[in-house]
Amino acid sequence: MRILKTILIAVGILIAVPLIVALFAKKDYEVEREITIDKPKEEVFDYVKFLKNQDNYSKWATMDPEMKKTYSGTDGTVGFVSAWESDNKDVGIGEQEIKKITEGERIDFELRFFEPFESTEPAYMTTESVSENQTKVK
């Protein structure tokens, strides 16, 4: 009986510890990548603010070059929406909308995923001069 009680207490602790840790763990996370491009900041910004150009550098576009893309609005302006639909489960179905543009500095997006999971997340891209002919994009 004493061994059973000890085992039950140990199992209870094993279950309780991860639940207690989860209460205090940070629930938000960020993913950030950066690259330095050998072009002036204005030229780089004027390229990345157009969502249609993402087909030339997006990891997701290279995963399924045959994905169906649709657009609404004027590319490179607030309110433009780029939507995608793919049979590749790692790409799925979703859309992104330009929410704000700080000219030459930052583009804010809203990413809306529909499949394989539903989620809405903010995202942004910034440009920063490293030198006259180099730009850091984050």
pTM > 0.75: no
| Per-residue pLDDT at 93 | 85
Classified as helix, coil or strand, 96 is strand
Q: Where are the domains of the chain?
A: 33-137
Q: Per DSSP, what are the bridge partners of residue 94?
A: 84, 113
One-letter amino acid at 108 equals D
Q: For residue range 113-127, list pLDDT tens digits in order.
A: 888 888 888 989 899
| Per-residue pLDDT at 13 | 76
Q: Per DSSP, what are the bridge partners of residue 51?
A: none
Mean pLDDT of the chain: 84
Q: Does the structure show a pLDDT above 70 at 21?
A: no
More confident residue, 36 or 21: 36
Burial letters for 100-114: b for 16+ Cβ neighbours within 10 Å, e otherwise? ebeeeebbbbeebee
Lowest mean pLDDT among 19-33, 85-99, 112-126: 19-33
Superfamily the domain 33-137 falls into: START domain (3.30.530.20)
pLDDT tier, 24 (very low <50, low <70, confident <90, very high otherwise): low
Count CA within 13 A, CB hemisphere, residue 126.
Answer: 7
| Per-residue pLDDT at 65 | 81
Q: What share of the chain is helix, strand, coil (3-state, %, to 5)?
A: 30, 35, 35
**Token pair listed for 25:** 């763990």
Contacts 24+ apart (CB under 8 A), 52-55: 52/82, 54/82
Cis ω before 116 (30° cut-off from 0) = yes
Q: For residue range 96-108, list pLDDT tens digits in order.
A: 999 999 998 999 9
Q: Does the structure show a pLDDT above 70 at 25?
A: no
Phi-psi region of 92 (alpha: psi -120 to 50; beta: other; left: phi over 0): left
Lowest mean pLDDT among 28-32, 47-51, 120-124: 28-32
Query: In whole angstroms, what is the distance from residue 79 CA to residue 110 CA?
Result: 10
